[in-house]
Amino acid sequence: MKRRKLFCFLFALCMMLVCIPSAPAFAEESAPPEAEDEIVNSVGLISNTWRSISKGTKTIYLTAGTESASTMYRIGLTEMYVQRSANGTSGWSSEKFVGNNIDGNTDSSEIEDFPITVVGGYYYRVYLKHYARATSASNSLIEEIPKYSNVLWVP
């Protein structure tokens, strides 16, 4: 009788695990997640992050960086998207994919005053992921921290 109860319990547990829906795959490069700041796969590789935008005439300038306490195999910024909104608080849409900035065998990676041409007449922000990979091994520790920059009105 105990075997049957144990079997039923294990079967029910397996069914629950099989039936849990997985997260949807990233369908388009132009549509980053809308989740606010969250830490994904946090393993303590990244010790400091920063990002901000400033504006010029129909241009925004991105300054951002990622630091680690030790040398990383790869470190930097990934999935950088410029997003715009009519009111600066909601309805954000991705205007363009800016790219990635990854450095190797160092403890930090930074971009400063990277120019991005925009249309104007909207509020803008930049979505990006701070990224670090400890080694080249396939089972290497990886940390990604998604963040948004400040918001600016560009006339």
pLDDT in tens, 32-47: 544 444 444 458 999 9
SS3 per-residue string spanning 32-51: CCCCCCCCECCCCCEEEEEE
pLDDT of residue 42: 59
Report the distance separating Cα 4 and Cα 11, nearest Å.
10
pLDDT of residue 124: 98
Specify whether the CB–CB gap between 116 and 128 falls below 8 A: no
Type and span of the H or E element at 76: strand 59-85
Task: Please report the domains of the chain, with CATH numbers, ordered by start residue.
Answer: 36-154 (2.60.40)
Supply the mean pLDDT for the chain.
82
pLDDT tens figures, 66-75: 999 999 999 9
